[in-house]
Structure 1
Amino acid sequence: MMLARNAESLYWIGRYVERADDMARILDVAIHQLLEDATVDVDRQARLVIQVLGLEAPDPDELMDVWSLTERVAYEKDSVGSIVDLIRSARENARGAREVTSSEMWECLNTTYNGLGDAERRARRLGPHEFLSYVKNRAAMFAGLADATLSHDDGYRYLLLGRSVERVDMTIRMLLSRAGDRVSSPAWVSVLVSAGAHDTFLRTYRGVLDAENIVEFMLVDRLFPRSVFHALRVAEQNMGDLEKRTSRVGAQGEALLLLGRARSSLEFLEPGRLLDDLQDRLLELQDTCREVNEAVTAQYFHVSPYVSWADARVDTEDHVIEESEL
């Protein structure tokens, strides 16, 4: 039986690393677009990126540009939810759960965190892409190490559950950023690029860049790992394995029910109608992510009031994003 604090740490490590990776991807694409298009309203687009990422809105009197956007999303150490803050939080959770993570996973997160300063200095000389590429590459390394060096037991399932729930939320944010655009808008392609899906999409749809196809691929594709449906299915499978309960009447925990309903709602969507009420559907799925997080926390991480962990104060600080971001 895994301690609740270790299970919670693994769950949040999965979420923090995935969020840092996805934020780096989204910011990288946004910066490229801002620098390429001289006609765009930089302040408006920068605020939209911050809104999409769920970060605190900047001061209305502050004029945002590419550099202040990068500062807010990537570099700020004292800003809750920045990329640096997310990696720090993942590292601190790994530090407190060394007995249930591999030494390679810890070394990866620790080295990643310690290398952020050098990556930032290079980025300030050469451009933000240097820092964002560093984060993306290190997140990919961590995912590979977790898969290869961690026993695929309950600890691994908590890590995958956290990663999958976060991936659903972040993919939804990518789609929401374009949900109000015209079907013919070329901006839809940014969703594919942000998710690292552009090449796979072109091979799947034979190069036809159509908004309906893009939404279909990112929302309900069964095989692409960053699609909402695929991430929901992975989360549901790991949640089911964690429950380990049999019941003749099919009674299930709330989190598993929520995941199953969300997956079913996408599985039986009528083809060709995905753009109808897209924003409402995405917001509903985002609410489901929040409810799943609350259900998982209540079911697995909350201990009896009379039990007190010595490091409870650290855990509270590490998980401050839970209330403000989800």
Structure 2
Amino acid sequence: MLSRIAESLFWIGRYVERADDTARLLDVHVQILLEDPWAEEDLACRSLLSVMDRPAPPPDLDVGREHVLDVLGYDRLSPSSIAGALVAARENARRAREIVSTELWECLNTTWNQLPSQMRPARPHDYFTWVRERAAIVTGLVESTTSRDDTWHFMVLGRSIERADMTARLLTTRALAGSAGPGWATLLRSCGAHEAFLRTYRGNTSDERAAGFLLLDRLFPRSIVHSLHQAEACLAALEPVADRTSVDDARRHIGLVRTTLEYRPLLEIIDDLPHEMELVQRACSAASDAIRARYFPSGAELTWVGEAL
């Protein structure tokens, strides 16, 4: 597979997942601000922008939910926002048009065409719901119309790394907000995990178990550990280990942070949750850089070699 095609597939997976997860995170954030009249909106919005690695607004600017929605929801030029991620996903699908299925291309193109009419509704929740539904359709098409070859592995690899990163950011917002932030039940619902969590623990719930479910559950597809396992499996399928004494850099970064989470006491992780989630984000970033260097080399110098006479 050409490296440019592989790179486009990888970023389709990442951008669609980024739009989905950002919509879930913003939905929780806006809902909390609407329900709590005593919430410090400026502080909460600045914290969210910081967690999402966006530049800090000037100190004299009053940052509210409208500013956050503009930056993280409606900015079509920034791939870190919902709208920008959907635009970028469609552009990458166009570049890989000869590889992606017709159904997947039509879904992403339809989403791109519908985006202007869906932005800035009276209720932001309607926009977030539409984004989640479109992302779910994309995921379903990838799973049902793509052979389990390199095409599928690159898309799922991108999706898995992005999902682990965004789930870590969601948990960071909960930890930084403290008692003023969303409850664990709200976070579980935002991830579509509440019913699965209740079935797993048969209604015997607690904050500790809820945190552990999103962090460490090996069967729930949106948990951090499950996402990292999936990313490792895709990397192993793309390039099986030939040297039994070493692994590539991307698998090393992902494996180290996964085992750090998986084989430590849960309370030890929760006690310093923002730091632990920062380590997950750094590992995902480092793995993404390693994947880019290994499979999508760019900037290589071109050297003219004359004809051999």
Instruction: Give 1:74's aligned amino acid.
Output: G
- Counterpart for residue 119 of structure 2: 120
> Does residue 153 of the first structure (1) align with residue 158 of the second (2)?
no
Tell me how far apart the structure 2 counterparts of residues 307 and 152 of structure 1 sit (CA, whole Å): 34
Aligned counterparts, 1:126-205, within 5 A: 126-180=122-176, 187-205=183-201
**Residue in 1 that maps onto 2:30:** 31
Write the deviation string for residues 278-325 of structure 1: whole angstroms up to 9, x where unpaired. 2222211211111101110111100572469xxxxxxxxxxxxxxxxx
Equivalent residue, structure 2, for 1:89: 88
Gaps of 5+ in 2: 304-309
Aligned-pair distance for 1:245? 3.9
Equivalent in the alignment of 2:287: 292
Q: Name the aligned partner's letter for residue 65 of structure 1.
A: G
What is the TM-score when the length of structure 2 is the normalising length? 0.91
Aligned Cα root-mean-square deviation (Å): 2.1
Measure the CA separation in 1 of the matches of 2:119 and 2:180: 37
Pick the aligned partner of 2:225 from 214, 229, 244: 229
Native 8 Å contact 1:19 1:167 kept in 2: yes
* Counterpart residue type for residue 286 of structure 2: E
- Does 2:232 align with 1:244? no
Change (3 A) 1:186 1:147: closer
Q: How far did residue 76 of structure 1 move?
A: 2.1
Q: Which of 254, 258, 275 does residue 259 from structure 1 map onto?
A: 254
Deviations 1:184-224, CA, capped at 9 Å, x for gaps: 98633332233221222222233344321122111111111
Distance 1:186 1:129 in 2: 16
Aligned-residue identity in percent: 42
Kindly provide the amino acid, as one letter, of the partner of residue 29 in structure 1: V
Number of equivalent positions: 303
SS across alignment from 1:178: helix
Q: Deviations over 1:133-152 (max 9, x none)?
A: 11110000000001111111
Give how far 1:272 is off: 4.2
44-53 or 26-35: bigger deviation? 44-53
Deviation sequence 1:226-261 (CA, Å, 0-9, x none): 0000000000000000013423x3322111122222
**AA in 2 matched with 1:113:** W
Secondary structure of the structure 2 residue equivalent to 1:302: coil
Letter in 2 for 1:35: L
Q: Return the TM-score normalized by structure 1.
A: 0.87
For the Cα contact (< 8 Å) 2:15–2:79, is it kept in 1? no
State how far apart, in whole Å, the 1-side matches of 2:8 and 2:28 are. Answer: 30
Structure 1 residues without counterparts, runs of 5 or longer = 309-326
Q: Which moved more, 1:98-107 or 1:199-208?
A: 199-208
Establish whether residue 302 from structure 1 lines up as the match of residue 301 from structure 2: no
